[in-house]
C-alpha cells in the first residue's frame, strides 16, 4: 500500500479547508496490523512507512512505482524506531533486535529488509522514514542509553520535555536523515513552542504514547497565518519547509521527529517570537 503527496505553496495553503489540510498532510493510519504502508512526499522525497508484523516476517517492498529502483534502498537510507512490542529487523541476513523506543539506521545499498515481531499478541510497531542518500553509511542500532539526551522547557511553561537524538550529526551517521523522539513530562502539553521554521529541511511528526481518549492540536502553516490539525495516537503529519510544526495536547505524549533536506544541523532554525504568531 503506497500513496504520493505533492508539495504546496504557503499561499495556496491559506485557502485550504480543514478537510483539505487533513488530506494533504495527515497520515491517519501509519501502523496497520500485518501490513507495511508507505507515503511518498514530494517534500525532500521523504517516504514515511509503518510496519506491524503479526505473523510471518514482512518484507520491505521495492515500491518500484515510487523509486524506479531495483531495491528500495538502492539510492536511499532509512531510520526506524519501534513504538510497540519487541521485534526484529533483518538486513541482508543480519538480525537487529529492537525493543520499544530503540532505533535502527540502515544505510544505502541494503538489498533485503524484513520486519518481524517477537510476540504476535503484542507486535512490534515500526515507524520508518527514508530519504535519498548519496553514499553508504553502516547499519547501526541505538538504544535509549546511546541517544543524546537533551532536557528543555519548564513546568511553568507547560513544556518540560526530554529529547532523544539518535540519527544526527554527532550520533548515528547518515547522508541527510535526522531522527529521534521527544517525550513530554506529566503536566506538560506544549512541544516546539515558541515555534520555528527551517527552509532547508522538511519534517515529519509522529505522535504516540497518547491515550485513545486524548488528542494533540498540531499547529502548522506560515507563522503569521497558522492552521491546526486534530491528531490522535499513532498518527503522523507532514511539515513543509515553510511551515511551523508545534502542538498542544490534552495530556502529555511523545512524538518522533524525522527530517531531511539541506543539512543536519539540529539547531538550524528560524525562530518566531510568540508575540508575532497569528
Lowest mean pLDDT among 56-60, 193-197, 207-211: 193-197
Instruction: Give residue-wise pLDDT tens across range 122-169.
Output: 999 999 999 999 999 999 999 999 999 999 999 999 999 999 999 999
d(CA 157, CA 189) in angstroms, rounded, equals: 9
Averaged pLDDT, 50-79: 96
Averaged pLDDT, 190-215: 94
Q: What is the pLDDT of residue 271?
A: 85
Averaged pLDDT, 183-192: 96
C-alpha cell at 75: 539510492
d(CA 126, CA 142) in angstroms, rounded, equals: 14
Q: What is the pLDDT of residue 193?
A: 87
Instruction: Give residue-wise pLDDT tens across range 12-27.
Output: 999 999 999 999 999 9
Give the predicted TM-score (pTM) of the model: 0.96
Q: What is the pLDDT of residue 211?
A: 95
Is 1 a residue whose pLDDT tops 80?
no
Listed as own residue / partner, the contacts of 138-141 with beta carbons closer than 8 Å and 24 or more positions apart are 138/107, 138/173, 139/91, 139/94, 139/96, 139/104, 139/105, 139/106, 139/107, 139/110, 140/104, 140/105, 140/172, 140/173, 141/96, 141/98, 141/102, 141/103, 141/104, 141/105
- Three-state secondary-structure class, residue 135: coil
Q: What is the pLDDT of residue 171?
A: 95
Is 205 a residue whose pLDDT tops 90?
yes
- Residue identified by cell 488530506 is 23
Q: What is the mean pLDDT of the chain?
A: 95
CATH code of the region 2-276: 2.60.120.10
Instruction: Give residue-wise pLDDT tens across range 253-277.
Output: 999 999 999 888 878 888 888 888 8
Amino acid at each position: 500500500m503506497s500513496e504520493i503527496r505533492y508539495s504546496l505553496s504557503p499561499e495556496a495553503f491559506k485557502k485550504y479547508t480543514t478537510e483539505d489540510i487533513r488530506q494533504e498532510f495527515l497520515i491517519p493510519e501509519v501502523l496497520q496490523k500485518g501490513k507495511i504502508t508507505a507515503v511518498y512526499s514530494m517534500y525532500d522525497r521523504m517516504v514515511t512507512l509503518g510496519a506491524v508484523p503479526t505473523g510471518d516476517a514482512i518484507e520491505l517492498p521495492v515500491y518500484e512505482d515510487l523509486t524506479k529502483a531495483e531495491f528500495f534502498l538502492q539510492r536511499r537510507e532509512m531510520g526506524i524506531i519501534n513504538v510497540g512490542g519487541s521485534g526484529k529487523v533483518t538486513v541482508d541476513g543480519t538480525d537487529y533486535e529492537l525493543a520499544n523506543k530503540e532505533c535502527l539506521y540502515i544505510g544505502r545499498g541494503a538489498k533485503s529488509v524484513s520486519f518481524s515481531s517477537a510476540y504476535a499478541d503484542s507486535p512490534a510497531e515500526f515507524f520508518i522514514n527514508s530519504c535519498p542518500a548519496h553514499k553508504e553509511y553502516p547499519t547501526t542500532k541505538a538504544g535509549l542509553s546511546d541517544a543524546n539526551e537533551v532536557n528543555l522547557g519548564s513546568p511553568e511553561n507547560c513544556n518540560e520535555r526530554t529529547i532523544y537524538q539518535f540519527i544526527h550529526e554527532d550520533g548515528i551517521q547518515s547522508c541527510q536523515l535526522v531522527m529521534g523522539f521527544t517525550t513530554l513530562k506529566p503536566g506538560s502539553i506544549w512541544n516546539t513552542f515558541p515555534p520555528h521554521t527551517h527552509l532547508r529541511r522538511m519534517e515529519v511528526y509522529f505522535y504516540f504514547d497518547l491515550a485513545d481518549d486524548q488528542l494533540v492540536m498540531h499547529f502548522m502553516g506560515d507563522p503569521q497565518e497558522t492552521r491546526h490539525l486534530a491528531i490522535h495516537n499513532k498518527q503522523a503529519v507532514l511539515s513543509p519547509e515553510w511551515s511551523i510544526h508545534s502542538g498542544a495536547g490534552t495530556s502529555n505524549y511523545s512524538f518522533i521527529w524525522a527530517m531531511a533536506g539541506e543539512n543536519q544541523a539540529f539547531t538550524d532554525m528560524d525562530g518566531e517570537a510568540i508575540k508575532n504568531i497569528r
